[in-house]
Structure 1
Amino acid sequence: MTGYKEVYEDWRNAPNAFWLRQAEAIDWIQPPKTGLSKNSDGVHEWFADATVNTCWNAVDRHVEAGNGNRTAIIYDSPVTDTIEHISFTDLQSRTARLAGALAQRGITKGDRVVIYMPMVPEALVAMLACARIGAIHSVVFGGFAANELATRLDDCTPKAVLAASCGIEPTHVVHYKPLLDQAIELAICKPEFCLILQREQERATLVEGRDFDWFDAQKDAEPVACVPVEGTHPAYILYTSGTTGNPKGVVRPTGGQLVALSWSMRNIYNVQPGDVFWAASDVGWVVGHSYICYGPLINGNTTILYEGKPIGTPDAGAFWRVISEHKVKSFFTAPTAFRAVKRADPRGELLKDYDLSALELVFLAGERADPATVEWAEEKTGKPVIDHWWQTETSWSIAANPAGIELLPIKPGSPTVPMPGYEIAILDEAGQILPPGSLGAIAIKLPLPPSCFTTVWNAHERFEKSYLESFPGYYETGDAGMIDDDGYLYIMARTDDVINVAGHRLSTGAIEEVIADHPDVAECAVIGAADALKGQIPVALYCVNEGVSRDPSEVVSELVQMVRDRIGPVAAFRQATPVDRLPKTRSGKILRATMVKIADGQPFKVPATIDDPAILDEVTAALASLGYPRLQEALEPDAAISS
C-alpha cells in the first residue's frame, strides 16, 4: 500500500501531473489538459481549459449511474421533530425545477444569488440549483443582522434572494423575513425578486411584485439541464470577516473545488460512495459548503443535514443519537461543540444509550482542538479523534491525518501533517524560515492547490495586500504555530494572539492547553492584556463543568500553579476568573480579539458573527473584577523588556 509520505512526495515531485490524475474522478464536459496556469492578474489557477458542472457531479451523474434510489440527504431536525430521507433522484428533480424557476425569472450564468436560509433541505437545493445554471451563490448565515446582510447585498449585487420565513432555535423562532426586508431597505443594490420558503412555524408577509412563495414560483417552471461552465468559473462567494471590519468575499473556483473535495472525501475522511457522512455545521459557513453540501454529494455519500444543537435538542446526547440512528461512519464537528457536550455531561453518561458501532472516525476543525477535549472525546467514544486545520479561504484541509491513505499516530494538539498541495513554512517577521520547534507565522508556499480562493470578490488588491504582501512567494495564513521534528504542525494561536511578555513571545494557545487540562475546566480563553511593566500579560477566562461548586479562588490558584509548572514563571500568569459563557461566533470561534479590546479599554465593534452580544457584558464585568481596563503609565520603550 502507498503511504502518506509516498503520496506527498508524488505530489511534490510532479504537482501538475498529480492533480490532473485526481481530476479523473470528476465527470468533465471538456476534461482539463492543463492543470496549473496563470490568469491576467498573475494569479495561479487550476483547470482553466476545462468545462464542467458542479450539480451534474453532485447529483445527476449518480442518477445516471443507476444510484438514484440511494439516499443523498438525511434531514434530521429535532427542533421540528422531523426526519426526512431524500434520494438522489428526488434531489435531481427538486434541483432541476428550482433551477428552472430561477432561469424563468432571468437568472443566467454569472448572476449572483444570495441564499439566506436555516438548515433545511431547500438550502442545499438552492445551492445546487444555482450551480446547475452557472449562477454564483452567496450563502449568508440565517439570522444575520440586517445591516450585515445589506453589506453583502451591496458587495455581490445579487439579482435574487432565496430565503426562509424563519429559523428555529431550541427556545425561540428567529424572524428571518423582517431582517431580509430591513436589509433590502438599507441596501443600495435591490434584488429583482425573492423566493420565500414559508415554514409552518411562522409565515411571512410577502411584498407584492418582489416576493414569491417558494413552491408557487416553481409550479409552472420547466426543469432545466446543467449548464457548462469553465473550470475557473466562480462556484460561490462566501464572506469572511476582515480585519478592517469589512467582510471579504472569498471566491471559490468550480473545477478546483470539485477535484480537491472529491480527493479529500476518500483520502482524508475515508468514506466511499454510499457511506454516511456527517458534518455538524451550518450551510452559512465554509464547512457547510464543502462538507454538508458539495464534498459528500460529489463523492456519492449520504450527507446529514442537522437542524439542532449539540446540547439542548433535547440534551447532550443529541450527537450520539444522530450517529447511532443514521449509522454515521465519519463524523466532523467543532471542538467547541464537544466542549459543550463535555461540560453538560462530563462523564459521558448519555453516550451509553446509543450504539456507535458504525462510527469509525471523528474529525475536529474550526477552532484549535485542545488536547484535553481530544482525549475526552477519544476516551468516551473509543474512536480516533482527529484534529485537522483549514480555512474559509482554502475550503479543505491544509493539514490533516489522511485516514483514507494511512492513519498516522495522533499527537493531541496537532492537526498532523500537510496535505498534498500544501508546502508549509514557519517564518519569522522578516520572512525567514525558522527551525523545528520555533514559534512563528504559518505560511504556505505558492502556488496554492486546487479549490483555494484566487481572489476576493470586487477587491483583488485587497486579496494581494491581505494574503500575499507580508511574505513574498507565500500565502499568509494569519495563524501562528510550529512544526516539530517529525513534521507535525501545531496551530498555537492567531498571529495576533502571540503575546509578548517582557520580551518573551508566548502562545496563548499553549497556556489555554494547560488550563483546559484542569479537571474542573470545561473550556477557556487566554488573552494578552496590555501591561505597563511587561508589555502584555496573559489573562484567562474559563468555564467550569456542570456540577462543579468549588471556591473559584482555589481553582485559580491551581491554574496558576499548573501554568508555572508546565510553561514556567516566564509566562507571568496570575490572573484568571470564571465566566458562565465565552463570547463566540455562531461557528464556535472564541472572540479573543474583542476580549483584548475590552481588557485594554479600546473601542470595538460588536462582531456581526457573534452568537449572543449579551455575553460581552458578562465578559466586561469579569475583566472588571480583575481590574481591567487599567490606567497605566507610559514607560520608556525598552523598560518592559529590561524588566
Structure 2
Amino acid sequence: MSESFDVKLEAKTYKPDSSYMENSNIGDWETAYNRYLKDPDGFWDGIAKELSWFKPWDAVKEWKHPYAKWFVNAKTNITFNCLDRHVNSELRNKVALIWRGEEEEQERIFTYRQLHREVQRCANALKNLGIKKGDTVCIYMPLIPEHIVAMLACARIGAVHSIVYGGFGAAALHTRIRDASAKVVITADVGYRRGKHVPLKSIVGEAVVNAPSVEKIVVVRRTRPQVELVSEMEIDYYELLNEAGKECEPEVMDAEDPLFILYTSGTTGQPKGIVHTTGGYMVGTYYTTKYIFDLKENDVHWCTADPGWITGHSYIVYGPLAAGATILITETVPDYPDPSVWWKIIEEFGVTIFYTAPTAIRMFMKFGEEWPNKANLDSLRIIGSVGEPLNPEAFEWYHRVIGKSVCPILDTWWQTETGMHMITTLVGEPMKPGFAGKAIPGVQVDVVDKEGNPTPPNVGGLLVIKEPWPSMMRTVHKNDERYRQYWSTIEPFYTAGDLAVKDKDGYIMVLGRSDDIIIVAGHNIGTAEVESALVSHEAVAESAVIGKPDAMKGQAIKAFVILRLGYEQSEKLKNELIYHVRMSIGPIAMPSEIEFVSSLPKTRSGKIMRRVLKAQEMGIDPGDISTLEE
C-alpha cells in the first residue's frame, strides 16, 4: 500500500449503561489517556508496582531506536506473579482454572494452590530432564490443563517455551522445532475434536526426524488402553511428574530475559519467531487484563483462543493469572455436538467475560438465534472480539443476541508482535460498529501516509505505533534484521502492516493487511508458506495464493497453480493439492479454491503481483501496474 485513499465512514453509536463507567477500573478514556501522556514512564511505573519484583528497576525504560529495554535491571519471575503472589494471599483457594472436555462429564478444577503445586512438580520434572534457564521447550498439545501447567513450568525455571498450535501438521511443526532448537517436546497422544482423535504424538514423531536438538518427547497419555511409548526418546508425562520434587523456587529472571518464542506467518515462507521478554510482557498483559477487560474479583474469564496463538498466551494464561482471575478453557468446538454447546458452558460456569473471534460470531449468526437462546447468558458482563476486524453486521448481532443489548463489546486490535491490546473502545465509552476504537492509555498509535504524515479523518493510510510499549517484541529469533524492518519502514514509527482509517472523533477502523498475509478465521497465514507447500508437490511448478472475502472466515485462501509438464488438470489433482497443504501446514491453511493457470502476473524483477490476481478476482481496478512484466 503506497498511497492514502478516501473511505466513506458511517457508524451508529452505542452507549453502554452509565454503571459501566461508574464502576470502571480505569475510568473514562480522556482522563486516563491524558494521565498517561503527562508522564508516560510514571504511568507504567505505577502499573508495574502493582506486581511483585525481587529487585526494583533502575529505569522504567531505555529507548535506543529501534531497541527498547523495560524495567531496566529489575528481577522477577512471571509465575511468582501468576501463582505465588496469590497463594501467599487470601486468593490461595480461589478457583484459578476450570477445564471442560468434549464430553460434559469431563471437568477439572484447580485452585491457585493446586495449580501452583502442579506447576512446581512439572518444573522439577523438566529440570530432571536437564532443562535449564535459556533452553527451549516446544509445546504441541491440545487445550487441556497440562498445557497451561507446562507453559508455566517452563517460565518457572527460566526455560523459553515455543508453543505450536495443535492444528499444524508435521512439516510446520518440524520447521518451528528446528528454528527454536528445542531440546524437549511436550505433547499428548491425542487431542479430541468433534468426537475424533487427532494423532498428536505420531505427528511429533514425524516432525522430530532431522531435528537433532530434540533429546526427549514428553507425552500426556489420555487414551485407554495407553499408547505404547516406542522410542528411547519418549517419556510418560505423569510418570515424570511422580518422580519430581514438590517444591521449586522460581528462577530469578532479569526483566529482559526471554520468556517465549512464538512463530507467526512471515511473507518469506519462513515463519517469524517473535521473541517476548519477561518484565515488560508481564506488565502489559496484567495491565490490559485488569484495566482494559475491567476485571473484577468474581469474574470468570473465558478466552476461546488456543495457547498456540498470542491471544492464548496473553489472555488465557499470563494476563488473567497475573491479575488473579478465574480462567475457563475447553476442548469443545463451537458447533459440536450442536451450536448450543458454548452458550451452555457460559450458563453453567457463570462466565462474565467472553472473548472470541469474529469468525466464530459469524458462524453463530449463520446457525441462528435459537441456539444461544437455549441458554441463560445473563452472567455475561463484557464480550470481546479478537483476531481480525469485527464487521458491523457481526457487531450488531453479537451486541443484541449475546450481549442482550447491554454488554459492552471490546473489539480489540493488537498483534503477536505487540503482546497486548493496543486499540479498543474502553468499557463504558461509546461504541461504533466496525471501529475498534482508540489507542488504549499507555499506547500511541496513528494512521499515516507513506511519508509518515498523519492522514486527515476519513482518509485511509498505514497503521503505526509511535512510541515503544512494555510488551513489545524484542527481536525476531535468528533474524534481527526482520525486527528492524518493523521500525524502519516509516521511521521512526513501528509499522504494523495494517491499513486503517480514523473518523472525526479519532476512532480507528482497521481495514486489513497491507502485506502478503491472509487472515483466515483470525489466524495469520503467510502467502509464501502456503505457496511453498504447494510447490513442494511434484506436480506444481509455481503457485500464488490470495485471500478472498468469506462470509464465515473473514478471508478464504484461493491458490493459482502452474503445473509441471506431464501433469493434467483434474478435480482429483485439486483435492490432492489441498490435502497436501493440509498435511504440510495444517487444516487452517487449506485453500478453499484452486485454479490452474498458464502464467502469473509478475514484475520485471520476477516478484508475483498478488494484488493483480486479487483485483481480477474481485472485479476491481488493480491500480498502478507499470511494473508488470507484460
The normalised TM-score by structure 1 is 0.78
Deviates more, 1:360-369 or 1:489-498: 489-498
**Residue of structure 2 in register with 1:399 after alignment:** 423
Q: State whether structure 2 residue 460 is matched by structure 1 residue 436.
A: no
Q: Which amino acid aligns with 2:40?
A: P
Query: 1:273·1:299 contact (CA, 8 Å) conserved in 2?
Result: no
**2:380 & 2:623 partners in 1: Cα distance?**
57
Cα deviation for residue 208 of structure 1 reads 3.7
Deviations, residues 264-322 of structure 1 (Å, cap 9, x unaligned): 1121111123421010111111111111111111111000011111112x211122111
* Residue in structure 2 matched with residue 520 of structure 1 by the alignment: none
Which of 314, 338, 351 is the equivalent residue of 1:315?
Answer: 338
Alignment match, 2:11: none
Q: Residues 216 and 619 of structure 1: is their aligned pair in 2 closer, same or farther, counting only changes over 3 Å?
A: farther
The letter for the 2-side match of 1:323 is I
- TM-aligned CA distance change 1:36 to 1:344, over 3 Å: same
SS in 1 for 2:476: coil
Letter in 1 for 2:415: Q
Residue 379 of structure 2, aligned match among 358, 363, 367:
358
What are the superposed Cα offsets for residues 194-227 of structure 1, whole Å, 9 maximum, x if unpaired? Answer: 2110012684432443111001112221131111
Q: Secondary structure at the match of 1:270?
A: coil
Question: Equivalent residue for 1:418?
Answer: 439
% identity of equivalent residues:
32
Q: Does structure 2 retain, via aligned residues, the 8 Å contact 1:79–1:168?
A: no
**Paired residues of 2:560 and 2:596 also in contact (CA < 8 A):** no
Shifted more, 430-439 versus 58-67: the winner is 430-439
Q: For the aligned residues, what is the CA RMSD?
A: 3.1
Partner of 1:514: none
Deviation for aligned residue 1:637? 6.0
SS at match of 2:459: coil
Is the partner of 2:462 in helix, strand or coil? Answer: strand
- For the residues of structure 1 that align with 2:489 and 2:511, how far apart are their CA atoms? 20
Aligned equivalents of 2:460, 2:49: Cα separation in 1:
39
1:285-300 aligned at under 5 Å gives the runs 285-300=309-324
C-alpha contact 1:417 1:488 (8 A) present in aligned 2: yes
1:216 pairs with 2:268: no
Other-structure match for 1:553? none
SS at match of 1:150: helix
Cα distance between partner residues in 1 of 2:495 and 2:76: 30
Q: Tell me, what secondary structure is at the counterpart of 1:320?
A: helix
Offset, 1:429: 2.4
Q: Give the direction of change, closer, same or farther, for the CA distance of 1:627–1:125 in structure 2 (3 Å limit).
A: closer
Give 2:490's match in structure 1, choosing from 466, 471, 491.
Answer: 471
Higher mean C-alpha displacement, 420-429 vs 123-132: 420-429
2:388 aligned residue: 367
Gaps of 5+ in 1: 499-507, 510-526, 528-537, 544-581
Deviation of 1:351 (Å): 2.1
CA distance in 1: counterparts of 2:624 and 2:79, whole angstroms: 62
Shift in Å, 1:387: 1.1
Alpha carbons of structure 1 residues 272 and 128: separation in structure 2 relative to 1, 3 Å:
same
CA distance in 2, matches of 1:635, 1:149: 38
Aligned to 1:453: 473
Match 2:53 to one of 28, 41, 44: 28
1:42 is displaced (CA, Å) by: 5.5
Candidates 48, 56, 61, aligned match of 2:72: 48
In the alignment, structure 1 residue 268 sits paired with structure 2 residue 292 = yes
1:25 is paired with a residue whose SS is coil
Letter in structure 1 aligned against 2:465:
I
Give, in whole Å, the separation in 2 of the partners of 1:629 and 1:494.
Answer: 17
Choose from 587, 592, 595 the match for 2:558: 595
Structure 2 CA distance for partners of 1:157 and 1:540, relative to 1, 3 Å: closer
Alpha-carbon distance between aligned partners in 1 of 2:426 and 2:189, rounded to the nearest angstrom: 41
Structure-2-length-normalised TM-score:
0.80
Q: Which amino acid aligns with 2:86?
A: H
Aligned 1:273-288 pairs, distance under 5 A: 273-288=297-312
SS in 1 for 2:475: coil
Deviations 1:129-174 (A, max 9, x none): 0111111101111142111111111111112111111111104211
Cα distance in structure 2, aligned partners of 1:325 and 1:332: 17
Q: How many residues align?
A: 540
Q: Which amino acid aligns with 1:463?
A: Y
* CA deviation profile, 1:475-512 (whole Å, cap 9, x unmatched): 110100111110101101211489xxxxxxxxx99xxx
Q: Deviations over 1:221-247 (max 9, x none)?
A: 113111110011111110000010110
1:325 maps to: 348
Query: Partner amino acid for 2:496?
Result: T
Contact 1:274 1:300 in 2 (8 A): no
Partner Cα distance (2:331, 2:288) in 1: 25
- Unmatched tracts of structure 2, length 5 or more: 1-21, 520-526, 528-545, 563-568, 570-576, 598-613
Kindly indicate whether the alpha-carbon contact (under 8 Å) linking 1:165 and 1:176 is maintained by their aligned counterparts in 2. Answer: yes
Q: What displacement does 1:638 show?
A: 7.0
Deviating more after overlay: 60-69 vs 124-133: 60-69
SS at match of 2:47: helix
